[in-house]
Amino acid sequence: MHYVVTDTMTVIRTEGLTRNYGNFRAVDHLDMEIEEGVCVGFLGPNGAGKSTTIKMLTTLLRPSEGKAYIHGHDVQTDGKKALSDVGAVVETPEFYPYLTPEESLTYLGRLRGMPGPELKKRIDEVLELVKMEEWRDKRIGTFSKGMKQRLAIAQAIMHDPSLIILDEPTSGLDPRGMVEVRDIIRRLKGEGKTIFMSSHLLNEVQEVADTVIMIERGKVILHDRVDALAKYSKSRRIEIQFLTPQTPATTDILKGMAGVKSVEWFGNTVCQITIEGGVEAQRELLAEAVKKGLDVVSFRESGMPLENLYMDLIKDSR
């Protein structure tokens, strides 16, 4: 049956999207919906099916089963319409080495039907945005991976698409480049764009994404808002710093407290405790530590909530 999305707020929709490589199923009947204006972090370990899903959304791969729709258009049968309002960076694309950034962007802009004067104006804007304006008339053949990645982002946003699909957008960038790309993503998010972004960098996702979709072995294991993730977390890590060096007796005291799963020392004044439960368990642990006379000078959650949750969920699914 041919499916037509009637809900105009749904930008991406997959139905039973599946991709097999021989006997290996990379994406397994993936169902998901991405709504308009949302920045989605698409997470999962290596081989979970993130890139395969993105490739199927951008017509680089054909699904073995199922359907993918963008703005209501079937990506496989109506790719031209489906991709008309999409900007994508998939892996680190290579550019034609004999062209300059300006020529490459002009080529892609013409394929998209951007009129001449507007195309020139947008090329100026996006090259400035990705800090590549001084390289605009140099042949791309000699560019580094990071420069190509910046240019890839420039081509993805040049036509001002409402949906931007990014596969590891900070891959190949130095720390400064990563910060700049995150700033660009925030800016696009502020403009109301829908962003679907895969990444290995959990802090990156936590900083910019509204919603997280986690996949493992090709299946969605979590799809929720970033600010609602705490409820999924079964454990948290707490870093405690003591005023004076501690003895093994302190470890015994800590391990005896309710909910403590493990204690790991970093030197003899700092330890990291893994506890079961949420903020309540954290509060009780602190109260008990003080009550038992431990000279605590610092008590704080260590690691990011998303990172802790990721580790929990991925561990559970294996």
Count of residues touching other proteins (by CB under 8 A): 41
> Which one of the spans 109-117, 182-190, 298-306, 310-318 is the region binding other proteins (CB under 8 A)?
109-117
107 lies in the site for other proteins, by CB under 8 A: yes
- In whole angstroms, how close is the CB of 242 to other proteins at the nearest point? 52
Contacts of 2 by beta carbon, 8 Å cutoff, 6+ apart:
74
| 275, 282 Cβ separation under 8 angstroms | yes
Report how far Cα 193 is from the mean position of its chain's Cα atoms.
15
249 near other proteins, rule: CB under 8 A: no
Question: To the nearest whole angstrom, how small is the minimum distance from the Cβ of residue 202 to other proteins?
Answer: 25
299 residue type, one letter: F
Residue 63's contacts (CB-CB under 8 Å, 6 or more residues apart) are 17, 18, 19, 27, 56, 76
Looking at the DSSP bridge assignments, the partners of residue 31 are none
In angstroms, rounded to a whole number, what is the distance separating the alpha carbons of residues 172 and 199? 12
Using alpha carbons, select from 44, 45, 47, 64 the residue that is nearest to residue 56.
64
Name the one range near other proteins by CB under 8 A: 77-85, 177-185, 194-202, 293-301. Answer: 77-85
Tell me how far, at minimum, the Cβ of 133 lies from other proteins, in Å.
20
**Among residues 141 and 256, whose Cβ is nearest to other proteins?**
141
Residue 137 vs 227, nearer CB to other proteins? 137
* Shortest Å, Cβ 76 to other proteins: 11
**CA 71/CA 11 separation, integer angstroms:** 5
| Contact with other proteins (CB under 8 A) among 10, 84, 235, 241 | 84
Contact footprint for other proteins (CB under 8 A):
55, 58-62, 79-86, 88, 90-96, 98-99, 103-104, 107-108, 110-115, 152, 155, 159-162, 165
